[in-house]
Amino acid sequence: MTLREESTHVDNLDQREQETVPRCRANSPRGNSDATGSSYQPVKAVSRALMVLRCLNELQHGSIAQLHRMTGYPKPTIVRALETLMSEGYAVRDNFSRGYRTTSQVQALSRGFNGVPLLIEAARVQAIALTERIKWPVSIGTVVDGKVVVNFSTAPISPYGFPFPTLNRPFSITETAIGRCYLAFCEAPMRERLLDQLARTAGQNAVLDLPRLRRALDEIRKRGYALQDPFVTLRMFEEAQRFQFMALPIRDAGECIACLGVGFYKRAVRREDVDAVVVAPARETVASIEANVRLLKRNVENYSGSQPPLLC
């Protein structure tokens, strides 16, 4: 079989494979919580190109024969993948050594995989497991420009989902449990900058009682977790008043990088039971998330294998 015939044969196989697999609807918020699940059959050509790139990156410089041994793909398939990678700037042909090598462009593939994306990957499975265990919705929040932003929430799979939208919405840093938690546990210089920013803008929006807020932050640090400002409940609409919110810091190298929040009905969990029913299991989840963050950061810096790291 010639190279062109084999190439056409592989394309026809891919098309037949995709046609025989029934399509399903796209993922919905209340769908499967498996982050790796897909709605359609994977595109084989893309999978092969990524595998070739991964193997070439491990070799640093490789021949078609070496890539064939590593991947098991037909050599014409490898050539097509390499030419595609060359056209996108991720690989070049090295005629002097009769092989191929990756370019600095491959570093762009990891660009952006830090901060929130890394945090969500580290926290997602653990947050889902916590909701499955305690049933209450779990949120992962960060602080951006002096506002709390909920980056991930399990509310869609909780039987007690929030009666209001939270995902990617800005919330007050002084009134929410996540915001108060971050203020209490972030580094002192960051806390002072945020408080100074709040003091300058308070006149435009609301009155800020800084002495009262500082006392509340001291209490949060002693307790180890934050609860929503009790005064804000009076200003919330009726359905939201039924909820209480608790938040714990997520740390990396001693620095608070985000917070894990849990919302629960006040009547369902008595105040004296909050530590045992909500806080204790949430602490276990936070410990696992922090371990995953450390693992992912190490692997982003050092990992070059063909399998993703196994998270806790």
Residue ranges of domains in the chain: 3-109, 116-302
Is the confidence at residue 5, as pLDDT, over 90? Answer: no
pLDDT of residue 33: 55
Beta strands, E only, the chain:
61-62, 91-94, 99-102, 138-144, 147-153, 170-172, 226-227, 243-252, 255-265
- The more confidently predicted of residues 234 and 139 is 139
Over residues 107-128, the mean pLDDT reads 80
Per residue in 261-306, pLDDT (tens digit) is 999 988 888 889 999 999 999 999 999 999 999 988 887 666 544 4
pLDDT of residue 232: 65
Side chain identity at residue 302, one-letter code:
N
- Is it the case that residue 1 has pLDDT exceeding 50? no
Question: Does 251 score more than 70 pLDDT?
Answer: yes
Structure tokens given for 285? 């989840």
C-alpha 184/C-alpha 194 separation (Å) is 11
CATH ID of 116-302, from 3.30.450.40, 3.30.300.30, 3.40.50.2300, 1.10.3720.10:
3.30.450.40
Q: What is the pLDDT of residues 158-213, one digit of tens each?
A: 998 776 778 888 888 998 999 999 999 999 999 999 998 888 876 655 567 888 89
Q: How far is CA 85 from CA 241, 256, 259, 307, 310, in A?
A: 55, 39, 40, 21, 28
Q: Please, are residues 81 and 14 in contact by the beta-carbon 8 Å criterion?
A: no
Does the structure show a pLDDT above 80 at 308? no
- 8 A C-beta contact, residue 309 and residue 303: yes
Which pTM value belongs to this model?
0.69
**Which comes out higher in pLDDT, residue 311 or 20?**
311
Question: What's the pLDDT score for residue 118?
Answer: 85
Rounded percentage of the chain residues whose pLDDT exceeds 70: 75
Which residues, 6 or more positions from 186, have their beta carbon under 8 angstroms from its beta carbon?
A: 143, 194, 255, 256
pLDDT for the residue 2: 46
Q: 151 near 120, Cβ under 8 Å? A: yes
Q: Summarize the confidence of residues 75-80 as an average pLDDT.
A: 93
pLDDT at 260: 97
CA–CA dist 82, 207 (Å, integer) = 62
Q: How far is CA 264 from CA 39, 109, 112, 254, 270, in A?
A: 32, 39, 33, 28, 10
Task: Give me the helix-helix angle, 75-87 and 3-20, nearest 10°.
Answer: 80
Output phi, psi for 266, to 5 deg: -60, -40
Mean pLDDT of 45-72: 89
Level-2 CATH architecture, domain 3-109: Orthogonal Bundle (1.10)
Extract the tokens encoding 239. Answer: 């359905």
